[in-house]
Chain A
Amino acid sequence: MSGLRDFLAMGGYAAYVWPAYAVFFLVLAADWLAPALRRRRLLRELRGRIARQEARERRGTDASTSLPPAT
């Protein structure tokens, strides 16, 4: 186990080397997740828009007979 401990100690520079690697991975992970979340949100909004549009069209055809004629 002393091999692993030595490795983690980084010759006394652990407080500098590991935070640097943490920044690297955290920033890239955030960069990777951002478009996935955006894509999910976009598609959800789009499905809502399509559903509303279809509902409007259905209502439109049902109500068309009872509407007063356009003047």
Chain B
Amino acid sequence: MSTWIPLWLHRLGSPPTFYAFAGRLRPWAIGLALLLGIVALYGGLVLAPPDRYQGDDYRIIFIHVPSAWMSLFIYAVMGVASFVALVWRIKLAEVVAMESAPVGAAFTFITLATGSLWGERMWGTWWTWDARLTSELVLLFLYLGVIGLYHAFEDRRQGARAAGFLAIVGVVNVPIVHFSVKWWNTLHQGSTVNLFGQSHIAGDMLWPLLTMMLATKCYYVASLCGRARADLLALEGGKDWVRRIAAGEAR
């Protein structure tokens, strides 16, 4: 193996080491997620003033937009992990890719459901075949397709490979979702927050939004740790280190 990859990264790739590492990381990640989430909710629901045009209805933004960001971010992580898994056959990359899919699907569903609740009052409709909404719905189907394909195989690693291909092909949808509000004349509004430019939002609404973004990122890390740990136990069920864990938790 090439020498430029640090040794600890090699070690982290071994299932028992990663199992222990994820177990230590998880409580910190969920703790930080809860802390940031509470601060963001207080800022968004209590401190931020009502919107001039939308009144208090706009407060859905504090969960809708961070969830939408996560739906794309997690898909990108899943795509990269699938690529690594297919090229280098690293078991841990398969686990990360396949266990990211349910979390991503959850955030995509939240995005669609909260957007629907928001749209009902502001646009007068629960749903419309707008470019942004349709591409986000396709994203949900891609997540569900990856999950379904993964579980359709008797052999889990074979399933992970097939689902990884689908995940990589589906990456093309990520920029489509992101740029849909620019490329097409959509009912959905354009980007409110721009990392590299002027954001069209007041500061006392922006900071709860960005705090919630960090909270959802931390939540994803925590959830992925828990899912990867469970998956490693299933994959390595016959090995000694898993048997020791099973025996240790007998009681």
Contacts and interface: CB of A to CB of B under 8 A. Distances in A.
Interface of A: 7, 10-13, 16-17, 19-21, 23-24, 27-28, 30-32, 34-36, 38-39, 42-43, 46-47, 49-50
Contact of A43 (B64, B103, B249): B249
B249 A7 contact: no
Given A11-B50, A16-B118, A42 B60 contact: no
Contacts of B233: 39, 42-43, 46
Shortest beta-carbon contacts, A-B, top 10: A11-B56, A13-B57, A20-B114, A46-B246, A39-B230, A10-B56, A35-B226, A11-B55, A35-B230, A24-B63
Nearest to B103: A31
20 contacts: A7-B46, A10-B56, A11-B50, A11-B56, A12-B55, A13-B59, A16-B60, A16-B121, A17-B60, A21-B63, A31-B102, A32-B226, A38-B234, A39-B226, A42-B233, A43-B249, A46-B237, A47-B247, A47-B250, A50-B247
Interface string B209-251: 0000000000100010011011001100100001101110110
B234 A31 contact: no
A27 B229 CA distance: 21
A39 B99 CA distance: 13
B110 interface: yes
B143 to A, nearest CB: 12
Contacts of A19: 117
Contacts of A21: 63
Contact of B243 (A7, A20, A31, A50): A50
Nearest to B115: A20
Contacts of B102: 31, 34
A34 B120 CA distance: 31
Per DSSP, are chain A's interface residues mostly helix, strand or loop, or mixed?
helix
A34 B105 CA distance: 14
Given A27-B109, A34-B102, A20 B118 contact: yes
Contacts of A7: 45-46
A54 to B, nearest CB: 11
A28 B219 contact: yes
Contacts of A46: 233, 237, 242-243, 246
A46 B50 CA distance: 54
B82 interface: no
Nearest to B227: A35
B67 interface: yes
A42 B226 CA distance: 13
B114 A23 contact: yes
A7 B247 CA distance: 51
B53 to A, nearest CB: 12
